[in-house]
Structure 1
């Protein structure tokens, strides 16, 4: 199948403001892009692209006084298959993990393993290690947390989510991946496009999505604590320790969000 993705995001600014954006499709999906991905600004300003320490594509620019609009679009091939499910995937002993995976066991900005370790072991200590343990964590978070955009707050941490029992997709991911880390399973945060493909259409406006990946049997597997079902058509944009590493836009000065529109639709043959 082919999926049309894109966005239009507008910020108002009183003065020229440096910015870093992470609005590109992840390099792991480059071979799936039909033609080229386009990201333009209005007014037109130069963007210098680079790779961050996690391999994500970032752009740096200076938004002019008055503000800026970002528009992007791409056509992406997709297998049309749901997220991989592999109940035989095994948890790797920490001493055998690759060096580059160890940071995904550590606490990070939104993921306080020190506050949740005792809770995690009390809840999942008897769950079989590996896929079954991750699935148990995912199901717990899915049932423990209520989704709602009114619960969104940029300062909310995994421990906050556990106590408040409410949040948005990034909060589900933060709590689940933190509990995985507490159980010795490397886990990282993911952001990207996830449209209503193969599921009933959500009447709420489309948004970017947050989910998480765990490292089992030598590879990364996708889990989604908000939906808790394998989904079709995920298009990755960035990975990191938590949402702080994959902010879509970062401004070094005061800016106000004026418009936010995301598109991710399956292209249906006429």
Structure 2
């Protein structure tokens, strides 16, 4: 697993996890006040790394991410988009110095997965779980995910530059029930937490997200960004930078005290 580490004078780290068939480029316009670690999930950006024969399973991603993050031995604010958000929930209890938690476009699901409660079915988005897709299907899926269509090109580019086996491996993990009870993990997580949702995200049931927040322990809040789809850091980087920086200041200051 490749990663990018951007160092600052702050002795704390914000970890950014991208989603399925996506890339760290969805975080490129964020302006954050701490050191930042951005892993590239195996099987993504394959023009640089074909990842032939590599395991793209949930279990493998969890092991790679927790090992990488804990190797820094620093206070962590964990931030995840879509599959990255689900992975963040899966590994949260394994991160030794976790101080804060933000997910977006990733409803904390129960076990077995409560699809009808947590998600809104969108046929075009099944493309993100298929190993073989046409250009038309990819373009349609990308178009649905963003509110502002100028971002569609980035979604298509990242999709085409990820290994198709990533999508089939993710689909297999879901169908085989390999995801944990993320609802339980999230609601019981003992640190400040935020769920962010784009008002125009087509796939996530926002009423379910609000319910999860109400049922969560510790300090948990819900923020909805207007005119925004599935990728808030790409479509609304200024607002997301503000949200992340504000929570980072709070949790890392508490850590110092």
Please identify which structure carries the higher helix content.
2
Note whether the superposition's TM-score is higher than 0.5.
no
TM-score, scaled relative to structure 2: 0.24
TM-score, scaled relative to structure 1: 0.24
Q: Point out the structure with max Rg over C-alpha.
A: 1
